[in-house]
Structure 1
Amino acid sequence: MFRAIRINACKQILQELVIPKAVQQRPLSVTCACLRRQEKREEEENVRDARKGREYNPADAETSKQYLQSKAYRDTYGDDPVWKFYRRNFRGHIAPDTRLTCVRKGVISTGNACPVCRDEYLCISYKNRDLLQQFLDPMTGEVLPSKVTGVCQKQHQRLLFEVAKAQDYGYIEKYFPLRKYNYSEYYKLAGLTKEILNAETEEMSENSV
């Protein structure tokens, strides 16, 4: 009797080792979801591999401006900046500096190109105001760091140049810090007193009247 009990227990243990209960009791929907995630991950890897080694032919500024207003752009990015959902590949917890460039000799040399290099219709130009504003801090008006946007160093340097050029041409508003001066500190340097300055200002106002 005890021998039969031991044999049945051994059979049950072997069945659990070959086919675990967690797998037997897993719902079909969970299994299908795991398979879908795996297929999606494989598709993304295939897209990255196909993108690597492709020739880089960026569009001009006018074509890029039309692309930003098109339905294809809204379906791809929506109302978010082009760099918002970009994820870099790096080891550790602290993000290092971005790569020097994604394009070498006219060919994309990486499978995870930066947000600008991966889309040929994104042209960084001083005329493309809508695209440049996506890389500006709304509080200070300065260009966001490359660690935040994820763009390569070559595109980041181009961003700095084109934003400064757009501000000079008046396409983008330039922010100046507000500073308040205490002019009484400069009276001694000028050799004047506050009473003399007040008298001179009163005389100028009387003469103007």
Structure 2
Amino acid sequence: MTIRKDLQLIADLVPANARVLDVGCGDGELLDYLVNERGIDGRGIELSQKGVNECVSRGLFVVQGDADNDLEEYPDQSFDLVILSRTLQAVHRPREVLLDLLRIGRQAIVTIPNFAQWKVRADLLFRGRMPVTKSMPQTWYNTDNIHFCTILDLFDLAESEGLKVRSFVPHMRNGRRLDMGPKLANLMAEQALFLLEK
């Protein structure tokens, strides 16, 4: 089974025999791969009923829930790893959600679209409009994105909360890794993956 290359970057960081919670698991593509190809003990939480139905049809254990409100129901340290892929920018309380991830799990993998990437900056500068790119294809009025986070912003939040960045993988939408530090990645990368722990 093959999965999207950006999801493979996440899967590559999941240790064997880990107990995993995938928050905002969508149609279950990553969770299905982890459970059925890697033998991971995986669970999911998804906001949309359509996504939950797709996950259940794949035989996955997924419940309908909202990252902003339902993570508090999970006990402390009940998972080894919690995944939040391309969802942090769409929640109402990103700081609290991030802290909940690391309360529920020993580690968290968080991926974000990078709103400081040069194409996004250029689109805003030269067109004077909110950017629409291949990695962010929705217009301002129909996007789920409500917090426009950059790579450096997430580093700042992690530092202010005393969180450790154990791994940082800047990459393009197609999953191609970029070998560069945070400042240059903030300009060049379309997305970034963070492995965080307290």
In terms of fraction of residues, the more helix-rich structure is: 1
Q: Which has the larger radius of gyration?
A: 1
In terms of fraction of residues, the more strand-rich structure is: 2
TM-score (norm 1): 0.20
